[in-house]
Structure 1
Amino acid sequence: MNDFPWLTVLVAIPLVGAAVVPFLPRTSPALAKQVGVAVSLVTLAVAVAVALQFDVDGGMQLEEDHSWIEAFGVHYALGVDGLGLLLILLTAVLVPVVLVGAWHDGDAHPSSFVAWTLALEGLSLAVFAATDVFLFYVVFEATLIPAYFLIGGFGRAGRSAAALKFLMFQLAGGLVLLGSVIGLYVVSADAGTPSYLLSDLAELDISTDAGRWLFAGFFIAFAVKAPLFPLHTWLADTTENATPGTSILLVCVLDKIGTFGMLRFCLGLFPEASQWATPLVVTLALISIVYGALLAIGQDDVLRLIGLTSLSHFGFITLGIFVFSSQGGSGSILYMVNHGLGTAALFLVAGYLIRRRGTTLISEMGGIEKATPLLAGLFLVAGLATLSLPGLSPFISEFLVIIAAFDYHWFVGAVAVTGIVLAAIYVLWTYQRIMTGPDTRPEALPEDMAPGARRDLGLREVLAVAPLMVGLVLFGFYPAPLLDVSNPAIDSLLEHVGVSDDPPTVADGGDHGTEEGGH
C-alpha cells in the first residue's frame, strides 16, 4: 500500500504557488506568469502520477483520512475514483492552458491574476478529491473567493456588477447547502456516532422525508453552480464581462462542481430522493437544453454567446445523470470532460479574436477568415466540437446521453435532439458572421485599438490551444480511455442507487431461438 499523500500534495502545490507568487520581485512583469506556468505544470505532472497509479476497477483509491473536528465527526479525508480522477485531470490540464493562452489577461496586475488562478485550481482539486461532506462544503465555498476576484479584478467595465451577481447566487446556494450539511450531522448523530465521511453516510438509513429535504438542499446548490434553469442568470453576465481565461476557469472547471456534486452527493447519499425528483429534474434539464440554445442564437456578444451554450450543455449533463442508466451516466461524465475541452478551446480562440478586432460584438467583426486562416480554422473546429460533430469527442458523450434519454422516454429524447439542431444554427451562423464576408472592422479602428488586427496566431497561442484540439480529435476517435475510467464509477453508483439497465428486448424467433442456436 502506498502511504504517500499524493492527493494532499496535488492540492498543496498550486495553493503554495498562489501564496508565493505575490511576493515575487516586480522588476519583470512576466516573472509571475512564468512561475505560475511552472507551478501549474508541476501540478499536472503530479495529477498524471496519480492517474498512473489508478486502478479502474479499484473504487475509491489513494485515500487519506485524518480526524479534524472529532466532536462533530469531521475528517480531513481525500480519495479519488473514476469520476474524481477525470475532473482532476481536466483541471490540471486547463490551468496551464489558461496561463499560457490568456497570457495578457492579467497584464494590469499579473501577480494577482496568477495567484488567484492557482488558488482556484488548488481548491477545485480539493473539491474533486474530498470524501468528507464537511470538508467538501468548506472548499466548495472557498472556491468563491478566487473566482470573485478573478471576475471583479480583470475584464470589462461591467465586471464588478457581474462579480457581485455571481457571488450572491453562489452564496445563496451555499447557504441552502449548509442547511443540508447540518441536517446530515443530526441524522448521523441520531444513528449513533456523528460522521461526515461519505462511506459512513452512504450506509445510513435516512427516512424518506428527511432524505428528500436534505436532497433538495444539495441539489439547489449544485443547480446554481452547474448552472441549471432557472438558477442560471448569473452565467451570461459573468462570461460577458470576465476575461476569456477567467471564463474558462469558471465554466470548464468551477461549474463542473455542480454536476460532480449531483453524482457524488445527490445520488450517492439520497438515492430514493434522487429518483423521486427525477421528473422535475429531467424537465429542468430539457428546458436548459432548448432555452440555452435559443438564447445563444440571439446573442451579438461572442463571450455571452459561448456562456449561454454552456447552459444548454449542462442541461445535457444533468439529463444524463438523472435518467439513471449506464449510458446516461457514462455520457454525463464524458460530457463534463469533453465540454471542458471544447468550450475552453472556443473561449481561448474567441479571446485571440477579440484581441485582434478590439470588440466582442459579432456584428462588428466580419471577414477575418482570409487574413487569419489558422485562427479561423481553430475557431471552426472548436465550434464544431460545441455542436458535437461526429469525429470530435463531444459527439460520443452527447450520443450516449441522447440514447439514454430515448430509453427513458421517447418524448424526452425528442426534445433533447432539438438541442443538436439549435447548436448547429448558433455555431455555423456565428462562424459565418465573424469569419466570412467583407473585412469590415480593421479600417474603422484606430491602429492602437486593434494592433495586429490582420495578424494570424503566433506560436504561443497555437501551443496553448493545441492540447485541447488534440484531445477533441483523439477522444473523438478513441474514447476508450475515458470510458474505461468512467464506466466502473457509474456502474458502482447505479448499483448503490438500486437501478439497472433494462435487458434488451429480443423478438420471438420461433424455432430459430433454440438453445443450440441461441445465446
Structure 2
Amino acid sequence: MTVSILIFLPVLAALAVLFFKNETAKHAALFFSVVELAIAGVFLANFKPDASTQFIIDTPWIPQFSIYFDAGIDGISMVMVLLTTLLVPLIILTTYKHQYKNANAFYALILFMQAGMLVVFTALDGFLFYVGWEAALIPIYFICSLWGGENRVRITIKFFIYTFAGSLFMLLGIIFLYIQSPNSNYDLHDLYAAVQSQYITNRQGVVFWAFFLAFAIKMPLFPFHTWQPDTYTEAPSAGTMMLSGIMLKMGVYGCIRWLIPITPMAMVTYQHMVIILAVIGIVYASVIAFTQTDGKRLVAYSSIAHVGLIAAGIFAWNAQGLQGSMVQMLSHGINVVGMFFIWDIISSRLGTRDITKLGGIAKVAPKFAIAFLIIVLGTVALPLTNGFVGEFLLLNSVYQYNIWFAVIAGLTIIFGAVYMLRMYKNVMQGQTNELTATFADVHGSEKIVLCIICVLIISLGIYPQFILHISSAAVENLLHTVKIPGKF
C-alpha cells in the first residue's frame, strides 16, 4: 500500500464526477470524498508514529531529468493528510443547500484540488512538490472566477498573479538546488545534503527568499496578505473553506518541510525579521478585524492573525513551536470551516452578512446559536477547546525565543476574544428585528456538519495527545537533522 492511492483516487473521482449532473454530481463527490477519508483512516491505522517515512512510492517519472514520482508519509505529513481528507467531505456537505450551475465541474474541481494538495503534503521530490503546488492553484482559480461574487474576476486575477509570481520564484530556487545537488536530482534528502555544499552555503539567502516569497504569499504572512480578505469574501463559500481550511496550510507546511531545512543558515539570518513580520501581522489583522461589519471579512482577518502566530512559532524553531503548529493547523482548519459555514447559513437565509443588521437570532434558532458559540470559543482558544492547545504551545515557543514577542503575539488571544465575542453578541443576542425574526434553525445537512465540527472542537481540546503522538517523533527527527547554527 503506497500513498499513490490517496493521490490518484481524487483525480479519478474528479473525472468520474464530470459525467454526472446536478444533484447526482453532488452525491458522487461526497461519496468519493468519504471513501478518500476512509482510505486515510486505513493509512492512519497502519501508521507507525516513529521518525520514518512510510507508504512510499518512488518510481521514475521523467528519468532523463532525474525526476521521480517520489512521495511518502511521516508524522508531519500524516497530520496534513488527515486535515485534507477530513475537511473536503465536510466542505462538500456544506454545499448541499446550494444549487450550482455546471455542478459537475464545480465538484470535480474540488476533488482535483484535493489531489494537488495531497501531492504537496506527501511529495519527497522537489519537482513533484512544485507540480502539486501549481495543480492545487488551477482549480481554485476557476472555482473563484466562475462561481464567486460580483467582483470575482478582478479579485481572482489579483489572487492568481500574487500566488503564481511567488510560485515562479520557488521554481527558480528548486532548479538552482537541483543543479547544486550532489546527485543532480530533486530528492528532498539530497537537497538537505546540498546544504553542506560551500557554494550553497554562500547563497542560502537567495534560496531562502525564493522559497519564502511563495510560502509567505500562500499563508498569507504580512505584508503579502493583501489578496486574502477580498478573495475570501468574493469566493463561493466552499472555495473560501478550501482556501482557508486547507490551502493556506501548504505555505506553512512548505516552511517546515522545505524552506528551513534547506536554508538553515539563512533562516538564522532572517529569523528575527520573519518573526517580527508575523507579530506585526497578528496585531494588524486583529485591529482591522475590529472595524469589520461584514462577517465573512471579519473571519478572513481573524485567519491572518492566527496564521501569523503559527508562523512565529515555526520560525522560533523548537519542539513546542513545531508541535503547536501541527495541532493549530488542524484546529484552525476545523474552526475556520465552521465559521465560514456559519456565515454561509446566515447569508443564504437573510441575504446579508452585515453584522449591524442582525440580532436576536438565538431566540429563534437555539441549535444554531449553540453551534455558533462552540465554534467561536474554539476560535478564541478557550481551554478544553481545540484552539487552546496549539496556541499555548506556539506562545510557549515564541516565549523561548523572545519574551516581548510572546507578549505581543499573545494579543491575538485577547483581541480575538473581544471581536469574536462582540460579533456573536451583535448577531445572536438582543432582540430580533424584521430581518431575523423568521430565521429558521439548522436542519438536515447543516445540522450534520455543525455537529461534526463541534464534536471535533471539543474532543481535540480534551485529548490533543492524539495529534501530538502522531507528529512527535517526526518533529524531533527534523529538529536534530536540521543543524541550525547556535542551536545544535
Contact kept? 2:265, 2:484, Cα under 8 Å: no
Please name the residue that 1:196 is paired with.
186
Please name the residue that 2:16 is paired with.
20
2:453 is the counterpart of 1:460 = no
2:270 is the counterpart of 1:285 = no
Please name the residue that 1:302 is paired with.
295
Deviation of 1:334 after TM superposition, in Å, equals 1.0
How far apart, CA to CA, are the structure 2 residues paired with 1:69 and 1:460?
45
- The amino acid of 1:471's aligned partner reads L
SS of 1:54's partner is: coil
Please name the residue that 1:434 is paired with.
427
User: CA-to-partner distance for each residue in 1:336-383, whole Å, 9 max, x for gaps?
Assistant: 111011111111122112111111111122221101111121111111
2:391 is the counterpart of 1:395 = no
SS of 2:193's partner is: coil
Contact kept? 2:360, 2:430, Cα under 8 Å: yes
How far apart, CA to CA, are the structure 2 residues paired with 1:498 and 1:144?
33
2:465 to 437, 462, 480: 480
User: CA-to-partner distance for each residue in 1:255-295, whole Å, 9 max, x for gaps?
Assistant: 10000000000122222222221101100110111111111
Please name the residue that 1:404 is paired with.
397
2:108 is the counterpart of 1:112 = no
How far apart, CA to CA, are the structure 2 residues paired with 1:181 and 1:453?
56
2:4 to 8, 11, 16: 8
Using the TM superposition, name which of 103-112 and 92-101 deviates more. 103-112
Deviation of 1:71 after TM superposition, in Å, equals 2.9
Deviation of 1:453 after TM superposition, in Å, equals 4.5
How far apart, CA to CA, are the structure 2 residues paired with 1:112 and 1:58?
40
SS of 1:66's partner is: strand
2:456 to 446, 461, 471: 471
SS of 2:363's partner is: coil
Contact kept? 2:51, 2:75, Cα under 8 Å: no
Deviation of 1:401 after TM superposition, in Å, equals 0.8
2:375 to 366, 369, 382: 382
Please name the residue that 1:492 is paired with.
477
- The amino acid of 2:450's aligned partner reads V
SS of 1:359's partner is: coil
- The amino acid of 2:476's aligned partner reads D
2:148 is the counterpart of 1:155 = yes
Using the TM superposition, name which of 152-161 and 120-129 deviates more. 152-161
- The amino acid of 2:227's aligned partner reads W
Percent of aligned positions that are identical: 32
How far apart, CA to CA, are the structure 1 residues paired with 2:98 and 2:211?
34
How far apart, CA to CA, are the structure 1 residues paired with 2:11 and 2:333?
22
Contact kept? 1:176, 1:218, Cα under 8 Å: yes
How far apart, CA to CA, are the structure 1 residues paired with 2:342 and 2:354?
15
User: CA-to-partner distance for each residue in 1:394-434, whole Å, 9 max, x for gaps?
Assistant: 10000011111111111111111111111011101111111
How far apart, CA to CA, are the structure 1 residues paired with 2:277 and 2:320?
20
- Would the alpha carbon gap of residues 105 and 289 (structure 1) be closer, same or farther in structure 2, given more than 3 Å must change? farther
Contact kept? 2:51, 2:474, Cα under 8 Å: no
Aligned length: 485
User: CA-to-partner distance for each residue in 1:224-266, whole Å, 9 max, x for gaps?
Assistant: 0011000011110011111222111011111100000000001
How far apart, CA to CA, are the structure 2 residues paired with 1:131 and 1:53?
20
1:367 to 348, 356, 360: 360
SS of 2:70's partner is: strand
2:341 to 330, 335, 348: 348
- The amino acid of 1:259's aligned partner reads V
How far apart, CA to CA, are the structure 1 residues paired with 2:186 and 2:367?
51
SS of 1:399's partner is: helix
SS of 1:370's partner is: helix
SS of 1:78's partner is: strand
How far apart, CA to CA, are the structure 2 residues paired with 1:237 and 1:350?
16
Contact kept? 1:289, 1:311, Cα under 8 Å: yes
Deviation of 1:466 after TM superposition, in Å, equals 2.1
Please name the residue that 1:447 is paired with.
none
How far apart, CA to CA, are the structure 2 residues paired with 1:289 and 1:105?
34
- The amino acid of 1:195's aligned partner reads N
Deviation of 1:102 after TM superposition, in Å, equals 2.1
How far apart, CA to CA, are the structure 1 residues paired with 2:123 and 2:468?
23
How far apart, CA to CA, are the structure 2 residues paired with 1:121 and 1:311?
22
- The amino acid of 2:340's aligned partner reads F
Deviation of 1:91 after TM superposition, in Å, equals 0.7
How far apart, CA to CA, are the structure 2 residues paired with 1:440 and 1:244?
26
TM-score, with length taken from structure 1: 0.91
TM-score, with length taken from structure 2: 0.96
SS of 1:495's partner is: helix
- Would the alpha carbon gap of residues 400 and 462 (structure 1) be closer, same or farther in structure 2, given more than 3 Å must change? same
- Would the alpha carbon gap of residues 328 and 164 (structure 1) be closer, same or farther in structure 2, given more than 3 Å must change? same
SS of 2:203's partner is: helix
Deviation of 1:200 after TM superposition, in Å, equals 1.4
How far apart, CA to CA, are the structure 2 residues paired with 1:136 and 1:259?
14
How far apart, CA to CA, are the structure 1 residues paired with 2:126 and 2:408?
35
- The amino acid of 1:489's aligned partner reads A
How far apart, CA to CA, are the structure 1 residues paired with 2:429 and 2:330?
31
User: CA-to-partner distance for each residue in 1:206-227, whole Å, 9 max, x for gaps?
Assistant: 3323222111111110000011
How far apart, CA to CA, are the structure 1 residues paired with 2:402 and 2:349?
47
- The amino acid of 2:12's aligned partner reads V
Please name the residue that 1:511 is paired with.
none
SS of 2:71's partner is: strand
SS of 2:202's partner is: helix
Please name the residue that 1:83 is paired with.
76
Structure 2 unmatched runs, 5+: none
Structure 1 unmatched runs, 5+: 444-451, 504-519
2:219 to 226, 240, 251: 226
SS of 1:62's partner is: strand
| Cα-Cα RMSD | 1.7
- Would the alpha carbon gap of residues 181 and 438 (structure 1) be closer, same or farther in structure 2, given more than 3 Å must change? same
**Within-5 A mapping of 1:144-183:** 144-183=137-176
How far apart, CA to CA, are the structure 2 residues paired with 1:89 and 1:262?
19
Contact kept? 1:325, 1:500, Cα under 8 Å: no
Contact kept? 2:282, 2:309, Cα under 8 Å: yes
Please name the residue that 1:240 is paired with.
233
2:87 to 69, 84, 94: 94
